[in-house]
């Protein structure tokens, strides 16, 4: 009998925006639930899932835009993703997942402690994985100052350690395009956690 890593059947992409990472997950996992607060993002993601591509105005400079096309993977993978609007801090019962991705969400929610301590442990099945990435860009626009995680990584470890064991950590660079000649380079702290049994 061949032994290997157990296959993931269900994945959740929390704070999925327009679904780029959800579609990537769907290449590996047969059922992906993808949730975002923004109706506009979910509408765009559903459009992408339906049609496979989406035209959008890409800023070149000033008011000058050019129509560009975003493309999603083949229909077989797109059909695996169910996009829903929702608040990560107040989710309906979604059942348990083999893998939960919360990419760059932590510093965008009103109560990051609640997300780590209450929400995420409920969503990952024992033996399942949680992938967290965050640049820890705390801002009062999203999170009241009193709820910022000071010394973020240590706080995350303290809040997760009863339910999760960290199995990997790396710096994950990402580039945000503002216009043709301006980009912002950020390094997210990416940590992978195994749910204790």
* Interface contacts to ligand SAM, rule CB under 6 A: 15-17, 21, 35-38, 41, 87-89, 103-105, 108-109
CA 123/CA 73 separation, integer angstroms: 26
The burial class, CB within 10 Å (0-12 / 13-18 / 19+), for 197 is exposed
| Cα-trace Rg, the chain | 18
Task: Name the residue nearer to ligand SAM (CB basis): 40 or 161.
Answer: 40
Give the C-alpha distances (Å, rounded to integers) separating 197 from 120, 177, 193.
15, 41, 13
Task: Name the residue nearer to ligand SAM (CB basis): 78 or 108.
Answer: 108
State the nearest-atom distance from the C-beta of 197 to ligand SAM, in Å.
Answer: 28
Task: Name the residue nearer to ligand SAM (CB basis): 61 or 178.
Answer: 178
Task: Name the residue nearer to ligand SAM (CB basis): 31 or 111.
Answer: 111
Q: What's the sign of the alpha-carbon dihedral 187, 81, 70, 74?
A: positive
Question: Is residue 60 a contact partner of residue 180, using CB atoms and an 8 Å limit?
Answer: yes
Task: Name the residue nearer to ligand SAM (CB basis): 23 or 37.
Answer: 37
């Amino acid at each position: 009998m061949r032994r290997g890593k157990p296959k993931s059947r269900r994945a959740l992409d929390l704070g999925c925006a327009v679904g780029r990472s959800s579609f990537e997950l769907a290449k590996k996992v047969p059922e992906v639930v993808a949730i975002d607060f923004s109706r506009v993002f979910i509408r765009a993601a559903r459009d992408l899932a339906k049609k496979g591509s989406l035209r959008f105005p890409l800023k070149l400079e000033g008011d000058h835009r050019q129509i560009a096309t975003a493309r999603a993977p083949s229909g077989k993978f797109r059909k695996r993703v169910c996009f829903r609007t929702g608040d990560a801090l107040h989710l309906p019962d979604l059942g348990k997942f083999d893998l939960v991705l919360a990419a760059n969400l932590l510093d965008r929610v009103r109560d990051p402690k609640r997300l780590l301590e209450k929400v995420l442990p409920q969503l990952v099945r024992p033996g399942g994985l949680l992938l967290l990435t965050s640049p820890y860009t705390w801002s009062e626009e999203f999170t009241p100052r009193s709820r910022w995680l000071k010394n973020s990584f240590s706080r995350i470890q303290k809040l997760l350690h009863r339910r999760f064991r960290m199995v990997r950590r790396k710096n994950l660079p990402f580039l945000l395009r503002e216009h043709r000649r301006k980009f912002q380079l950020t390094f997210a702290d990416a940590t992978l956690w195994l749910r204790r049994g």
